[in-house]
């Protein structure tokens, strides 16, 4: 299966908001409410930021929010901080107990 | 605290196999799944498969079927991922991650194991 489609890069200034999209199909993103988002700093393991489309694990700032419409999920980071600069990956259930990741988006905080 | 600790870096020749371990602590090992994900240098995360640590049932990505074997040792609270017939394109960091059974999110992740395939 091909990866979910994410923009290769996004950028924003401190204090601004950015949104990262994740586009799939009705066989994955659009078909299930099992979208999660991961933050990955260089050389580090990914960290769960959002699960079940909109839910935040404890410890994740409420500046991180997410949604889904049709086959596209979105992650919004408001009040950008320098430590938010990282790669972000979406992930979706794809049926038959399989999982699909997005291509990843590099967030630059200018 | 919940922790997954993976085995150390490996260097393998093309055609060989590699077995990466993932030792769990801080929770009931058999009540969760262990997922395996890899990341080639500078590339995206790529899902490989998972094991239900309780039942031992596994599912793997079609891309790796026939080459990947995921197992677990409940007495050691450890999961394993073995990849055979290695080629240079398998050079990557391999991660394990815990998953709640019935959920589809991974938390926490192991620290990663670099596998380098080179002649």
Q: What is the mean pLDDT of chain A?
A: 96
Q: How far is A9 from chain B (nearest CA, A)?
A: 13
Q: Is the pLDDT of residue A1 over 80?
A: no
The size of chain B, in residues, is: 119
Q: What percent of chain B has pLDDT over 70?
A: 100
Residues of B in contact with A100 (CB under 8 A): 47
Q: Any idea what the Cα angle at residue B94 is, between residues A67 and B70, rounded to 5°? A: 95
Residues A12 and A110 sit within 8 Å (Cβ to Cβ): yes
Q: Is the pLDDT of residue B111 over 80?
A: yes
pLDDT band at A30 (very low <50, low <70, confident <90, very high): very high
Residues A105 and A91 sit within 8 Å (Cβ to Cβ): no
Residues B82 and A16 sit within 8 Å (Cβ to Cβ): no
Quick one: average pLDDT of A55-68? Answer: 97
Quick one: average pLDDT of B80-84? Answer: 98
**Residues of chain A that touch chain B, judged by Cβ-Cβ distance less than 8 Å:** 1, 3, 32, 34, 36, 38, 40, 45-48, 51-52, 57, 89, 91-93, 96-104
pLDDT band at A2 (very low <50, low <70, confident <90, very high): confident
- Please indicate whether, in this complex, the C-beta atoms of A45 and B105 are within 8 angstroms of each other: no
Residues B43 and B58 sit within 8 Å (Cβ to Cβ): no
Residues of A in contact with B46 (CB under 8 A): 101
Quick one: average pLDDT of A75-94? Answer: 97
Q: What percent of chain A has pLDDT over 70?
A: 99
Q: Is the pLDDT of residue B57 over 70?
A: yes
Quick one: average pLDDT of A21-34? Answer: 97
SS3 assignment, position B82: strand
Quick one: average pLDDT of A78-93? Answer: 97
């Amino acid at each position: 299966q091909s990866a979910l489609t994410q923009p290769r890069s996004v950028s924003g200034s401190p204090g601004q908001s950015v949104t990262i999209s994740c586009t799939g199909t009705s066989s994955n993103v659009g078909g299930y409410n099992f979208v999660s988002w991961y933050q990955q700093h260089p050389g580090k393991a990914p960290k769960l930021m959002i699960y079940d489309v909109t839910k935040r694990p404890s410890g994740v700032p409420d500046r991180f929010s997410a949604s889904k419409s049709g086959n596209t999920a979105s992650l919004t980071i408001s009040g950008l901080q320098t430590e938010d600069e990282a790669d972000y990956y979406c992930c979706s259930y794809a049926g038959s107990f399989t999982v699909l990741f997005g291509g990843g988006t590099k967030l630059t905080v200018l | 605290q919940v922790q997954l600790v993976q085995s150390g870096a490996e260097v393998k020749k093309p055609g060989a196999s590699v077995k990466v371990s993932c030792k769990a602590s801080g929770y009931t090992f058999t009540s969760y799944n262990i997922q395996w994900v890899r990341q080639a240098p500078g590339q995206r995360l790529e899902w490989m498969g998972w094991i239900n640590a309780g039942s031992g049932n596994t599912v793997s990505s079609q891309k790796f079927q026939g080459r990947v074997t995921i197992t677990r040792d409940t007495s050691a609270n450890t999961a394993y991922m073995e990849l055979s017939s290695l080629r240079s394109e398998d050079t990557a960091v391999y991660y394990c991650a815990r998953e709640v059974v019935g959920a589809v999110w991974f938390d926490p992740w192991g620290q990663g194991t670099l596998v380098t395939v080179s002649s």
